[in-house]
Structure 1
């Protein structure tokens, strides 16, 4: 996981009005907290922060150069976006130290193709891991190449990067390989559904005649 450096500014104004002014200035209101220290209210550069998320994911390690010469290392904890306009409204940052172990959710990517005639269902898109703050994996890959129908993949089956510890329930089902429906199965389902519609319509017609 690469480290991203951002120049940030302290915030001295609070409230919705102040947050709107911060965003109009091309910055994102943020709060940095952790290790028992008092929360620090910051303004993040919108373009640079969005680029960091796009290129490095939510678990990017951020080195925050605060105006005045102070630097902090942080992870993104929560990103709040506008539900309609989709711009970033607020960010919560977690203060970390180099060498510290942190718990994060890491994307799980299935690679390869299962055996012909199968259908893969992925139940978990991420795994919760404990890892060293400066060595968080960008993603974890698991090959399903050639797996037959009936195969189940649990969290404990995933090989983790060196130094990482699984926090997700080891018995959690993360993916399953089943048999893909055949053309005959689909035709049978259509026939059954159609018969049910005809039967329902017939019952309604009979009820109408009786009344």
Structure 2
């Protein structure tokens, strides 16, 4: 899937800093943030909380910022801080991007299909795949088929089909997914139980 759309957010530059200022901003259902990149000075912003929360549901969402109604910038989220208990947004770092520019991001890895029978486990060694892609065409995710994979099988980065214009930003032989054999302990417990039943019989 290609993330073609961009989410428009109205942002305001902020001049107040520190915990007190951040609390005041959050009381107004807004989120403090910083926009940086391209060698420019970091720009401290206040962003609309609810709209930002919705936007961040899309991994690597492309955000079109209208700053103070004067300038427009494109950005992608680089770091998001949430309250560990309540989950609300505390702060967001945004990276400035330009149309056509290549950026390095991590995209989620989704799986489809059923493993070979036998109770084996699928381990996500990498939950997200580092790739280099165009800032305005960041894939939302990659999907990998694990249909029929046996214990010991692995999916490497180079095995994953990437959308046009997207390249790996990780070693080709990096293990992304691997199939682990069903726990040997469980099997031995089962055998022991069967042995006891046989002895009782």
- Sort the TM-score into its range (normalised by shorter chain): 0.7 to 0.9
Structure 1 pair 47–131 and aligned structure 2 pair: CA distance change class (3 A): same
Query: Structure 1 residue 189: deviation in Å?
Result: 8.0
- 1:18 matched to 2:21? The reply is yes
SS of the equivalent of 2:56 reads helix
Report how many aligned residue pairs link the two structures: 189
Whether contact under 8 Å (2:10, 2:69) holds in the other structure is no
Other-structure match for 1:151: 153
Deviates more, 1:100-109 or 1:163-172: 163-172
> 1:82-114: per-residue Cα shift (whole Å, max 9, x none)?
222221111111000000000000001111101
Other-structure match for 1:60: 61
- 1:114 matched to 2:115? The reply is yes
C-alpha distance in structure 2 between counterparts of 1:184 and 1:20, whole Å? 54
Q: Mind listing any 5+ residue stretches in structure 2 that lack a counterpart?
A: 194-201
C-alpha distance in structure 1 between counterparts of 2:98 and 2:56, whole Å? 20
Query: Structure 1 residue 3: deviation in Å?
Result: 0.8
SS of the equivalent of 1:180 reads coil
C-alpha distance in structure 2 between counterparts of 1:151 and 1:86, whole Å? 37
Structure 1 pair 147–71 and aligned structure 2 pair: CA distance change class (3 A): same
- 1:45 matched to 2:48? The reply is yes
Other-structure match for 2:83: 82
C-alpha distance in structure 2 between counterparts of 1:164 and 1:157, whole Å? 14
Q: TM-score, normalised by structure 1?
A: 0.84
SS of the equivalent of 2:136 reads helix
Other-structure match for 1:27: 30
Q: TM-score, normalised by structure 2?
A: 0.88
Other-structure match for 1:174: 176
C-alpha distance in structure 1 between counterparts of 2:187 and 2:20, whole Å? 61
Structure having the higher Rg: 1
